[in-house]
Amino acid sequence: MSLLVIILAALVAISLLIFFVGITADNQAQATNYDIDWSVLSDEEFQSYLPHKKINAIKRYRELTGLGLKEAKQAVEYVIAHPEQKKVKSGLAANTGGAGVRDLLLDNRFEEAVDVYAAFMGVDEFTARDAIHELQREINAEANLMDIDTNELRQLIDEDNKIGAYKRYMAQTGASLEEAKQFIEMDL
């Protein structure tokens, strides 16, 4: 009877060992197969949290990437566990042929414009992306301004309908209310 108990105990132990080894292998495979956004590593705030402020690093990673808690946690844990695998973008990724940021945007080369801005200004990719989005909005507003019918805006103002003029200007240019007020009150 005692031999049977020993065999059963050994079988249970082997089964538990196989089970736990399988779970560990799955977790490692998940972490290594996870698509980490390595450009986040260029963010100074994110870097300031590593490796001792993991919760803050996870929050910042989520803020920058828009990922869920589980994915961000896996990514941050992987980055902490494998610091040698940092793959931060460096320098210009594309040959711009001497084109400036504005030229690149006019040629619909948004990603290259981000790279050029980041390299030239010495900022991280997210700051560069925000600046390029703002510049693109300004370029679009300038282009729309050429198409704007100022006679229609003057007519709305003459009819004592400044709000209508603001709305019309904003609809035509994509400008903010502040920009519409400034244009209508200063330029018309």
How remote is the C-alpha of 174 from its chain's centroid?
23
User: Which residue did the predictor score with more confidence, 128 or 37?
Assistant: 128
At 41-86, the pLDDT tens digits run: 777 788 788 778 888 888 888 888 888 888 888 888 887 877 665 5
Q: Supply the DSSP symbol for 108.
A: T
At 137-186, the pLDDT tens digits run: 877 766 666 666 778 888 888 898 888 888 888 887 777 888 888 888 87
pLDDT (average), residues 110-137: 82
Asked whether the predicted pLDDT for residue 89 surpasses 60, the reply is no
What is the chain's length?
188
pLDDT level of residue 90 (50, 70, 90 thresholds) = very low
Sign of CA dihedral 52, 55, 58, 60: negative
Prediction pTM value: 0.36
H-helix segments, 34-122: 44-49, 54-65, 69-81, 101-106, 110-121
pLDDT of residue 96: 54
